[in-house]
C-alpha cells in the first residue's frame, strides 16, 4: 500500500483496495497514534505493523467518524484506547453491525471482524497531549454528524476524515454543517490536510482546496434549487457532471462522480420537499 511521509512524525497510508481511504500513523516516543483503521484487514495489518515496529505500542486509535471504511478494523487494535465522537460509539453499537455483516459477504477477509467501538468519547473538542505532541480533536460535522478532525498542532497537519474529500459529500450529514466545518478548517494554521480519501493536500494548495470545496457546495445547491424551481427532474439536474463543477471524473477511481450524483439526488429531494412545504 502506498505510504507517504507528510510531517516529521506523521505518515499516511492510502488504500488500494477501497476508494483510496486513508489511515494515518503518528509516531511518538511514547507509542503511536493511529487515525482511522480502514476497511480491509490485510491493509490494516500493514498499517499496524508500521505503527508497532520496534516494540512500539499503539497508545490511541482515533476514528474520524462512524462509517465502516474508517472503523471496520478497530478490532485489530485490541490494546489501544479508541477515541471518537460519541456518535461513532452509537453507530458501532447499532446500524454498523449489519453494515459489517453485509460487507463481509463480499469481502471474505472481513468475516472474522468484530465491532470495537470507541471507549473514550466526546461530542465537543478534545485535546490529547501525547508523546510531546498536541492533538486537537475538532468536531467537523457535515459529511456525517459525528465527524472529528485531528489537528496535530506542532506539525500543522489536519487529519480531516471525510470532512475534506475531493468532492464534498453531505448526503449522510448536512451541507450547512459542512460549510461551517470547512470555514473552521480555513482558520487553522495548516501545512497539510490529510483527506479521508485521496491525495494529501499540501501547503500552497490548502487555501485553494478549501475554497474550491466551499464553491462547489454553493454552486451545486444553487443549480439544483433553481432547477427544481424551473421543474427540472433529477435526470435533468444530473446533466451537469462533476467536470462542470471543475472536478475530475477520474478522481478516486471514478468515485467522485458518484459522490456528486449522490449530492444532486439529495438536494433535488430536499428542494422538492421544501417547495411542497414552504414552512419547512
Ligand atoms: Zn469514507
- Span from the CA of 275 to the centroid of ligand 1 (angstroms): 32
- Span from the CA of 186 to the centroid of ligand 1 (angstroms): 21
In 116-202, which ranges are continuous DSSP H helix? 175-186
pLDDT at 248: 87
Report the chain's terminal Cα–Cα distance, integer Å: 47
Where do we find the cell 478522481? 251
Cα distance between residue 99 and residue 115, in whole Å: 11
Cα distance between residue 172 and residue 184, in whole Å: 20
- Span from the CA of 259 to the centroid of ligand 1 (angstroms): 11
pLDDT at 279: 62
- Span from the CA of 140 to the centroid of ligand 1 (angstroms): 14
- Span from the CA of 202 to the centroid of ligand 1 (angstroms): 20
**Per-residue tens of pLDDT for the chain, all 280 residues:** 999 999 999 999 999 999 999 999 999 999 999 999 999 999 999 999 999 999 999 999 999 999 999 999 999 999 999 999 999 999 999 999 999 999 999 999 999 899 999 999 999 999 999 999 999 999 999 999 999 999 999 999 999 999 999 999 999 999 999 999 999 999 999 999 999 999 999 989 999 999 999 999 999 999 999 999 999 999 999 999 999 999 888 888 888 999 999 999 999 999 999 988 766 5
- Span from the CA of 68 to the centroid of ligand 1 (angstroms): 8
pLDDT at 252: 85
Q: Per the structure block, which three cell numbers stand in for 127?
A: 485535546
- Span from the CA of 111 to the centroid of ligand 1 (angstroms): 20
Buried b (16+ CB within 10 A) or exposed e, 162-180: bbbbbbbbbbbbbbebbbe
Question: Can you give 183-248 as a three-state secondary structure string?
Answer: HHHHCCCCCEEEECECCCEECCCHHHHHHHHHHHHHHHHHHHHHHHHCCCCHHHHCCCCHHHHCCC
- Span from the CA of 12 to the centroid of ligand 1 (angstroms): 15
Cα distance between residue 155 and residue 15, in whole Å: 23
Using alpha carbons, select from 223, 232, 212 the residue that is nearest to residue 263. 223
- Span from the CA of 80 to the centroid of ligand 1 (angstroms): 22
Q: Per the structure block, which three cell numbers stand in for 245?
A: 463543477
- Domains contained in the chain, CATH given: 3-214 (3.60.15.10), 217-276 (no CATH)
- Span from the CA of 82 to the centroid of ligand 1 (angstroms): 18
- Span from the CA of 279 to the centroid of ligand 1 (angstroms): 34
- Span from the CA of 67 to the centroid of ligand 1 (angstroms): 6
- Span from the CA of 102 to the centroid of ligand 1 (angstroms): 17
Longest dimension (CA), the chain: 64
- Span from the CA of 70 to the centroid of ligand 1 (angstroms): 6
- Span from the CA of 196 to the centroid of ligand 1 (angstroms): 6
- Backbone φ and ψ of 218, nearest 5°: -60, -45
Amino acid at each position: 500500500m502506498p505510504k507517504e511521509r507528510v510531517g516529521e512524525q506523521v505518515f499516511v497510508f492510502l488504500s488500494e483496495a477501497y476508494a483510496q481511504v486513508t489511515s494515518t500513523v503518528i509516531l511518538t516516543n511514547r507509542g503511536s497514534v493511529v487515525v482511522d483503521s480502514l476497511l480491509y484487514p490485510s491493509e490494516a495489518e500493514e498499517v499496524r505493523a508500521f505503527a508497532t515496529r520496534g516494540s512500539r505500542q499503539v497508545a490511541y486509535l482515533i476514528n474520524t467518524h462512524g462509517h465502516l471504511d474508517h472503523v471496520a478494523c478497530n478490532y485489530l487494535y485490541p490494546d489501544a484506547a479508541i477515541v471518537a465522537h460519541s456518535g461513532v460509539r452509537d453507530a458501532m453499537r447499532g446500524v454498523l453491525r449489519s453494515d459489517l455483516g453485509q460487507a463481509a459477504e463480499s469481502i471474505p477477509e472481513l468475516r472474522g471482524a468484530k465491532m470495537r467501538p470507541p471507549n473514550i468519547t466526546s461530542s465537543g473538542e478534545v485535546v490529547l497531549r501525547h508523546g510531546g505532541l498536541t492533538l486537537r480533536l475538532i468536531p467537523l460535522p457535515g459529511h456525517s454528524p459525528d465527524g472529528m478532525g485531528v489537528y496535530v498542532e506542532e506539525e500543522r497537519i489536519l487529519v480531516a476524515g471525510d470532512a475534506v474529500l475531493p468532492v464534498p459529500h453531505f448526503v449522510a450529514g448536512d451541507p450547512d454543517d459542512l460549510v461551517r466545518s470547512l470555514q473552521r478548517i480555513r482558520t487553522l494554521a495548516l501545512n497539510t490536510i490529510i483527506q479521508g480519501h485521496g491525495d494529501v493536500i499540501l501547503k500552497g494548495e490548502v487555501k485553494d482546496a478549501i475554497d474550491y470545496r466551499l464553491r462547489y457546495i454553493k454552486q451545486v445547491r444553487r443549480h439544483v434549487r433553481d432547477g427544481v424551481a424551473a421543474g427540472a427532474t433529477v435526470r435533468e439536474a444530473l446533466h451537469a457532471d462533476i467536470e462542470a463543477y471543475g472536478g475530475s471524473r477520474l478522481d478516486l477511481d471514478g468515485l467522485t462522480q458518484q459522490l456528486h450524483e449522490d449530492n444532486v439526488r439529495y438536494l433535488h429531494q430536499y428542494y422538492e420537499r421544501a417547495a411542497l412545504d414552504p414552512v419547512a
